[in-house]
Amino acid sequence: MTLTVATIVGIVVLAALIWLYVQLRSKDHLDEMMARRSASVKLISRANYVEGLERIPVALSIGDDSIFYENPDLEAKLELRQIEEVEYDDETATGQSVQGKALRLRSHGHTFEFVVDMATAQKWQAMLPVKRLDQGTARAV
């Protein structure tokens, strides 16, 4: 019986250590991606890409004509000319409150949401101001 308990505890501890390692390594990968892209963009920051109830850590950046969101498993971009609306909110589109701000972008009927901290949100708002569908084209400064 003692051997069974020790085995179960060992498996739980091993799983926790693997999870911790993966989390720390993911942050390292994001730092590397941000360092590589920083020379070619106007602003780059950490963010969480919101997909349903899931929050995926990404490096969020804005260049001359696109917004990029990337992590080791995801490389995506949105062209600024295709963005119809830009919003900053205290909660996600599904009503979840956030620590910081939710940056919400709408393009061709699809919503893209990123959660950033307050200081980062202010930088993003300076680069990508609030825009409604009836106001024209969003542009980076």
Residues 31-60: b if buried by 16+ CB within 10 A, e if exposed: eebbeeeeeebebbbbbbbbeeeebebbbb
Look at residue 138 in the predicted model and tell me its pLDDT: 44
Mean pLDDT in order along the chain per 10 residues (141 residues): 81 82 67 86 95 91 95 92 95 90 94 96 94 61 40
Cα–Cα distances in angstroms (integers) from residue 75 to residues 61, 72, 78, 103, 119, in the given order: 12, 8, 11, 18, 25
Q: Which domains does the chain have, with CATH numbers?
A: 2-135 (2.30.29.30)
Look at residue 1 in the predicted model and tell me its pLDDT: 67
Look at residue 77 in the predicted model and tell me its pLDDT: 94
